[in-house]
Amino acid sequence: MMREGHEEEEMMMMLAKKPAWLEGLMAETFFSSCGIHESRRKSEKNVFCLLCCLSVCPHCLTSHRSHPLLQVRRYVYHDVVRLSDLEKLIDCSYIQPYTINGAKVIFINQRPQSRAKVSSNVCFTCDRILQEPFHFCSLSCKVDYLQYQGDDLSSILYRIDESDFTFSSLRMDGHDQLGEISTMEEDTDDIMVMSDQWEQGNNSNKKEKTKKKKESKYSPGMVLSLGSRRKGAPHRAPFS
């Protein structure tokens, strides 16, 4: 009986375990100077190698030319990834996107906040104020919440298609700094947050269709978990 319980616990841990690329993306330090090319211009590490699970600078790319590569950008001093890129790797439903310079982006990790909670709709993990119908402010908040609930992460992960993340698809044009222009982060958030529903207009039918589409992508376990929110989810341990 004890053995069966132990095996069940091990199985739950395996299902909730993050793949190496996801663990690395959430733990890596981006936009610091590359130790190998620090004497060269534009040596900030702003690309994540999905195969090697580490951040690299533009000068390192020749060594990773055949690897799947994900470009990371900066918004208000925090790391973001284009939604169009990230949703090819993982289900991003219910993560609040931000529209900046015409590009939809997702924050990789949760951000510090100082304002007290004054909204009924907040992030399930860190209590950051969100727009409806979102439940998470960042990729890490969604992943941490699912792990805390003991849900199977494989249900939201997609097989990496390396043709979607080729060296030639990177745009190393200096526009990866999306918005280090405002110190009013919370005010900027309020202005620039846009969901698919609002961008498509005020047509209630369109909003309902979009919402149903998002809900249909969600796993049953996730919907069940969202219905019974548990407070005080533990913070993610550093990547080792």
Distance CA 131, CA 129 (A): 7
Strands 73-75, 98-100: parallel, antiparallel or unpaired by DSSP?
unpaired
Is 104's pLDDT higher than 50? yes
DSSP string across 164-193: GS-GGG---SS--B--TT-S-HHHHHHHHB
Predicted model pTM: 0.70
Is 229's pLDDT higher than 80? no
pLDDT tens digit sequence for 42-81:
899 999 999 999 999 999 999 999 999 999 999 888 999 9
